[in-house]
Structure 1
């Protein structure tokens, strides 16, 4: 019964620790480390803890094989977790950067994305003339009626592997609407001609998109005349004139969406209210920032769930690795620990020293795993299927917050992996341990 109660208490300690640890910001951890340092420097038991810890660390080289199991296992957990979270963060950040609060996008009511939205010409004209839309120097509203279609193109280095690439038909006002888009090679397309400009991301991922190349799309020959960069999801697209794209893909005069430049972010409510009150329209209105952020929510959530699930499974394995390593270390040092207790070292320094040793090994593993992911994956370009059932090119983003998350996971694994061996070391009978060979 006593053993059962002790085990239940330790599980409760682990649960409370994990709850507090997950919620604790980095400032709290720094304070906690400072308090621990002061305790070890200013109190008798703290100094005893440091002495025992120093002895334990000095024998790590003698236990290099078993200690490396802890370090490598935790490095693997942290590496996989941070890489998966960096993928979801990079994808979400790419889409969030695509929109802003100065522009609004209008789709047919109930449409989840531009690909399944259809607006006729009359509806598009009503949207463009709505209150709140900024007028250009010529007195005309700054707006772009746009059409999004999908084409199959081969990936670079994989001629037999096609992927969906979005082609966006845009109007002449798109350059004022999306001033982040810059031509970096070649020129803009000419309205009315079958010419395309391609995003840098699409050009890096797919074959045949160099300036001057010709593409066969929808039974028509198109010429690539320029390359643009925008540092957002638009770099995954090919752009052409709306009317040319609509003609090639037999879309008549309809468009998928209308994007407008607002007088100011505050004008959005007026713009949205006027469209909602118009009986001729049934549309959904949102800022481009909200629209593109929403497009990333589903996949980002899936990637985070997968990353955390895989991380938990691997963490369980790493915990068992740490348990085995520290139990073996305590068994090898049983006489040493018993001798320390016999000459006056109490249970607290023994427990704390074993915990510190395990968490220092865990910290080393976490730093290695997080560092490797940052070196290898930060800025790494990849593509995945987006809301328009087409490829979105994005870059992994290994932020400081993700690195800190990885380190926290490593320390949590070290805490759990060291707690049970530490308690066993403190409860080891002195007379029994001294008799062991």
Structure 2
């Protein structure tokens, strides 16, 4: 039971870690604007004229000098080899605007400096620097027909940005032969202004754009991978739990067989069948709870394990960690108790239905 609970909890932690990584990537006051119908930034396109119209909306926050706090960004995928492997993996290369770093409060430089605007310099997420070959501080990467010097490494608080490479959007657009931006990241005066911004963009047929809160946008990015993890995890848990229930049933049938005389004596003393049933069910539930606590303790050690996989939505590398939440703790313990109840019910019924004389004679 402990091993089954470990598998169940680990899968739930994996799903929670994925969702936390992507949802935490967003900020409530930020809005992502992409082409209508596009599911990812890679599929999207926003022209300079469209970006200018969005910038002019009155709900957009203003920075120093009255400039609209909008980061015009371009996003492309580029294959880079991992350390210790020649097999390339897609990495997100993001060109950001003047406010790209300002709009993402969870991002901070952990080493080096920010790239200089108008230069062939980039900064890399901590996950990229750790796992990809040639992606360390001071090294250079070649993509878009140019060599790009890595001048900084940034920490993004375990969000999806740690799996990205950032540079100047105005340099990356021509390098990848693009004519438009991929998306706009917009800071609102207040999160209450989102409905007005969304309606203004939707109602203008010339734009052909749509707006989503940044948190909603990144939550959508996790949907396909989250479903896969959930279905796979539940399938494994159900298969393994059948074995655990059978094991619990065998254990409880053995307990009934070895305590036949005790059961007959209790019945002779006046204990009702319901009391015998309750006693054996309580024993089964206690054993299941013990197994659940042990499995949960083993699963909690996975919190310090970080894994990376391909995001099915963007087909890019995504690194995240197992995350244990109070909800997972409750779900795991309930799951173990259900296994104990199912596994102990029939043996408890057998114990309760034993005839007093037969039980004493067998004992």
TM-score w.r.t. length of structure 2:
0.95
Residues 266-275 or 365-374, more deviating: 266-275
Alignment of structure 1 residues 17-56 onto 2, 5 Å:
none
- Does 2:154 match 1:154? no
Aligned counterpart for 1:97 among listed residues 24, 35, 46: 24
* Aligned with 1:246 (options 173, 192, 200): 173
1:381-429 Cα shifts (integer Å, max 9, x gaps): 1122222210111111011211221111111111111111011011112
* 1:169–1:239 contact (8 Å) kept in structure 2: yes
Look up the SS of the partner of 1:285 in the other structure: strand
The residue aligned with 1:235 is 162
Quick one: distance in 1 between partners of 2:201 and 2:359?
Answer: 82
Partner SS, residue 138 of structure 1? helix
Which residue pairs with 2:344 in the alignment?
A: 418
- The equivalent residue for 2:251 is 325
Determine which of 351, 357, 380 is the counterpart of 2:305: 380
How far 1:320 moved relative to its partner? 0.8
Question: 1:172 matched to which residue of 2?
Answer: 98
**SS in structure 1 at match of 2:76:** strand
- In the TM superposition, residue 237 of structure 1 has moved relative to its aligned partner by 0.6
Alignment partners' CA distance in 1, 2:325 and 2:195: 34
Determine the structure 2 residue equivalent to 1:134: 61
Residue 389 of structure 1 aligns to a residue whose secondary structure is: coil
Alignment match, 1:389 = 315
Q: Give me the whole-angstrom Cα distance separating, in 1, the residues matched to 2:108 and 2:227.
A: 31
Displacement of 1:308 = 2.0
- Which SS does the other structure have where 2:37 is aligned? coil
**Corresponding residue number in structure 1 for 2:37:** 110
CA contact (8 A) 1:197 1:227 kept: yes
Partner of 1:18: none
Aligned equivalents of 2:77, 2:50: Cα separation in 1: 23
How many residue pairs are counted as aligned between the two chains? 361
User: Which residue in the other structure is 2:195 paired with?
Assistant: 269
Equivalent residue number for residue 62 of structure 1: none
SS at match of 2:153: strand
User: In the aligned structure 1, how far is the partner of 2:30 from the partner of 2:261?
Assistant: 73
Which one of the candidate residues 208, 214, 229 is aligned to 1:282? 208
Which residue in the other structure is 1:10 paired with? none
> CA deviation digits over 1:240-299, x for unaligned, max 9?
0102211221113x1100111111112222222222233321011111121112222232
Q: 1:119 aligns with which of 25, 46, 56?
A: 46
| Per-residue deviation, 1:118 | 1.2
Which residue of structure 2 lines up, in the alignment, with residue 368 of structure 1?
294
Query: Is 1:85 matched up with 2:85?
Result: no
**Structure 1: gaps spanning 5 or more residues:** 1-73
1:340 maps onto 2:299 in alignment: no
Higher helix share goes to which structure? 1
Bigger radius of gyration among the two: 1
Q: How far apart, in 2, do the equivalents of 1:424 and 1:255 lie?
A: 71
Deviation at 1:108, TM superposition (A): 0.7
| C-alpha distance in structure 2 between counterparts of 1:100 and 1:258, whole Å | 14
How far apart are residue 95 of structure 1 and its match? 0.9
| Greater shift in the superposed pair: 310-319 or 342-351 | 342-351
| Whole-angstrom CA distance in 2 between matches of 1:358 and 1:270 | 57
1:95–1:295 contact (8 Å) kept in structure 2: yes
| Cα separation, 2, equivalents of 1:272 and 1:333 | 70
**Alpha-carbon offset, residue 87 of structure 1:** 0.7
Structure 2 residue runs without a partner (length 5+): none
SS, match of residue 222 in structure 2: helix
- The SS at the match of 1:349 is helix
Deviations 1:336-367 (A, max 9, x none): 22233223332223212211111111111100
